[in-house]
Amino acid sequence: MASLNITSLLKHIDELRVFLNDQNIDVLAINETRLNESISDQDVKVQGYDIIRRDRSTNGRFGGGVCFYIRSSISYSVRTDLDSQLLEIISIEFRKHNSKPFVITSWYRPPNSPHELFAHVNTLLGKLDSENVEHFLLGDLNCDMQSKDVNSSLMNLPELHLLQVL
């Protein structure tokens, strides 16, 4: 699995197609897709992958959005029960024969968003914890790790392991 902030999927779709063709990635989460209803799934199709997307729909603002590319041979279901009107987020549950299910969530938090959004993510992750489901949170959180507000909000997330990209 991998995560990528692409800052306009349509603009970079040819590069993404080459990248996925050259890499052994089963699940790719993408942030800042900047897609809307005028762009079809066919416009951003990658051979051998399904696309699951959630375009930004807040107040007619442009930008944002999240999606997953999942290798077509993989069994999955979209966890719509984990959707939130406040968050740009998608959660996918994967089930493999003779294995426990697990969930991968991709979240895009726009810059300068209120820190209270972390509490909403914490609620979502708490629901998965109560189901005893292993889960992974991928995305672009756009936060200053040295800020006291952000740091305390992040540390309240259950079993959080952060990978910082500079």
Give me the CATH number covering residue 14.
3.60.10.10
149 forms bridges with which residues in the sheet?
none
Distance CA 80, CA 103 (A): 12
Q: H/E/C letters for each residue in 44-73?
A: HCCCCEEEEEECCCCCCCCCCCEEEEEECC
Distance CA 57, CA 88 (A): 9
Count of domains observed in the chain: 1
Whether residue 62 contacts residue 104, with contact meaning beta carbons closer than 8 Å, is answered with no
Whether residue 27 contacts residue 69, with contact meaning beta carbons closer than 8 Å, is answered with yes
Q: How many residues appear in the chain?
A: 166
Helix, strand, or coil (residue 103)? strand
Distance CA 40, CA 112 (A): 30
Closest Cα to residue 127, out of 86, 158, 96, 160?
Answer: 158
What is the residue range of 8's domain? 2-155
User: Mean pLDDT throughout 137-145?
Assistant: 84
Express each pLDDT in 67-116 by its tens digit. Answer: 999 999 999 999 999 999 889 999 999 998 888 999 999 999 998 888 88
**Is 108 part of a structural domain of the chain?**
yes
Distance CA 49, CA 28 (A): 10
**Is 162 part of a structural domain of the chain?**
no
Confidence at residue 142, expressed as pLDDT on a 0 to 100 scale: 86
**Is 164 part of a structural domain of the chain?**
no
**Is 78 part of a structural domain of the chain?**
yes
Say what the pTM is: 0.87
Distance CA 23, CA 97 (A): 25
Express each pLDDT in 32-66 by its tens digit. Answer: 999 999 999 999 999 999 999 999 875 556 789 99
**Is 50 part of a structural domain of the chain?**
yes
